[in-house]
């Protein structure tokens, strides 16, 4: 149900998770020859915090190693990141791919218990606030808000395979299967409680078959739970069309994506292939206009190289890969 935005409590607590696994050697979307991955992730968190503040929002970083995180932030010159310590207790299988990401599920359980306030938005730390989150607020009030990225996932992995995986984890035939990105979940404690219960119902089937799905990570089980929620009559609102958040890749993808000039009108941008760039921007005074201009200067040569590679590999590469475009070429009249 849509609500009058003037009647809403404007205090949303945005949370980002950084779980430090001391035995983990692989960091997602970071090259092996990059700088210290932890410093890169902390730089991303610092930019997320400063951009959130510029949009009038409150952001906190949740971690299992607060002392280490605070020391590393201070050493890097970042004093703008509120850090919350959380004692994670879930028994996650040690051999599971993307081990650390699964602790987001325990964080959802804690949000449901109102550990971080009543109105919470769980976001990835490689996100940037471009403008205040407004349109999405009109739909809060017992519903969950998530980001439907089915148009990115189904073309890449195949509709039948993704549907089969979701239905197995959910243990239910899905009328209209959807895939939700892990970079945005918003609602009150009660709505997170509904989601947490459905995640718990999916957990055993998910862990029993790790390695057999097209995707391993929090998105798999959260998407299954959200599909269950929809079929049980729980309202799940897609924040994408409301310009709440947009995911955009400067790397090659298995699907066509909108041009960057279209997605940059969203309140929050998720740029998972650009963590090192995001970390470098954290040392600068933030403004959305300056950031967007800097991003285009950074991404243009990167995309050009990928376009060249795409042309050279077009006839021998299957399935087809696509390269993003910053701005659509105007049609001749």
- Convert the pLDDT of each residue in 222-234 to its tens digit: 999 999 999 999 9
Rounded mean pLDDT, 303-330? 80
The rounded percent of the chain whose pLDDT value lies above 90 is 78
Which tokens in the block code for residue 228? Answer: 């269950």
d(CA 120, CA 220): 21
pLDDT of residue 315: 58
3-state secondary structure 84-101: EECCCCCCCCCCCCCCHH
Report pLDDT for 211. 82
Strand blocks (E) in the chain: 13-18, 58-63, 83-85, 119-123, 127-129, 144-148, 180-188, 236-238, 245-247, 268-270
Asked if pLDDT for residue 331 goes beyond 90, the answer is no
Q: Are strands 180-188 and 245-247 parallel, antiparallel or unpaired?
A: unpaired
110 contacts 85 by C-beta, under 8 angstroms: no
Averaged confidence pLDDT in the chain:
90
- Note the pLDDT of residue 5: 35
Predicted pLDDT at 328: 81
The candidate with the shortest Cα–Cα distance to 229, out of 188, 189, 201, is 201
Please compute the mean of the pLDDT values over residues 258-278 and round it to a whole number: 97
pTM: 0.92
Q: Is the peptide bond before 84 cis (omega within 30 degrees of 0)?
A: no
Lowest mean pLDDT among 11-15, 94-98, 212-216: 94-98
Digit-coded pLDDT (tens) for 102-148 = 999 999 999 999 999 989 999 999 999 999 998 777 666 778 999 99
Torsion angle of C-alpha atoms 22, 28, 30, 35, degrees rounded to 10: -20
Q: How confident is the model at residue 317 (pLDDT cuts 50, 70, 90)?
A: low
pLDDT higher than 80, residue 282? yes
- The answer to whether the beta carbons of residues 97 and 210 sit under 8 Å apart is yes
Instruction: For residues 230-248, give the mean pLDDT.
Output: 95
Q: Read out DSSP for 3-71? A: --GGGS----EEEEEE---TT----TT--TTSS-HHHHHHHHHHHHHHHHHHTT-EEEEEES-HHHHHH
Burial of 131 (0-12, 13-18, 19+ CB in 10 A): middle
> pLDDT confidence of 34, banded at 50, 70, 90?
low
Is the sign of the CA dihedral 131, 180, 294, 280 positive or negative?
Answer: positive
Q: 10 or 282: which carries more pLDDT confidence?
A: 282
- Give CA–CA dist 95/23, Å, rounded: 11
DSSP class of 181: E
pLDDT score for 314:
62
More confident call, 258 vs 317 = 258
pLDDT exceeds cutoff 70 at 333: no
Higher pLDDT, residue 78 or 95: 78
CA-CA distance, 175 to 125, in Å (whole number)? Answer: 33
Residue 134 in 3-state DSSP?
Answer: coil
The residue among 1 and 196 whose pLDDT is bigger is: 196
Please state which of the ranges 136-140, 146-150, 189-193, 261-265 shows the lowest mean pLDDT: 136-140
**Domains identified in the chain and CATH numbers:** 8-312 (3.90.550.10)
């Amino acid at each position: 149900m849509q609500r009058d935005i003037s009647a809403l409590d404007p205090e949303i607590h945005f949370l980002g998770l950084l779980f430090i696994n001391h035995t983990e050697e692989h960091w997602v979307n970071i090259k092996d020859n990059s700088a210290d991955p932890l410093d890169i992730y902390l730089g991303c968190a610092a930019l997320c915090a400063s951009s959130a503040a510029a949009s009038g929002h409150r952001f906190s970083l949740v971690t299992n190693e607060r002392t280490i995180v605070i020391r590393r932030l201070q050493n890097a010159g970042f004093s703008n990141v509120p850090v919350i310590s959380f004692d994670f207790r879930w028994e996650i299988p040690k051999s599971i791919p993307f081990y650390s990401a699964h602790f987001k599920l325990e964080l959802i359980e804690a949000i449901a218990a109102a550990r971080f306030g009543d109105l919470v938005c769980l976001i990835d730390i490689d996100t940037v606030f471009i403008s205040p989150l407004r349109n999405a607020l009109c739909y809060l009030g017992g519903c969950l808000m998530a980001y439907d990225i089915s148009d990115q996932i189904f073309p890449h992995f195949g509709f039948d395979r993704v549907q089969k995986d979701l239905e197995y984890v959910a243990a239910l035939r899905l009328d209209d299967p959807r895939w939700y990105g892990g970079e945005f979940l918003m609602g009150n404690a009660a709505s997170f409680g509904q989601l947490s219960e459905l995640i718990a119902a999916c957990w055993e089937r998910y862990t029993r078959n790790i390695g057999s799905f097209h995707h391993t990570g929090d998105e798999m089980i959260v998407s299954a739970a959200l599909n269950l929620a929809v079929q049980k009559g729980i309202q799940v609102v897609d924040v994408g069309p409301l310009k709440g958040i947009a995911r955009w890749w400067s790397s090659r993808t298995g699907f066509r994506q909108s041009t960057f000039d279209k997605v940059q009108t969203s309140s929050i941008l998720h740029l998972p292939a650009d963590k090192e760039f995001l970390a470098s921007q954290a040392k600068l005074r933030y403004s959305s206009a300056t950031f967007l201009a800097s991003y285009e200067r950074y991404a243009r040569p990167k995309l050009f190289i990928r376009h060249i590679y795409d042309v050279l590999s077009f006839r021998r590469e299957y399935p087809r890969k696509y390269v993003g475009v910053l701005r659509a070429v105007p049609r001749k009249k």
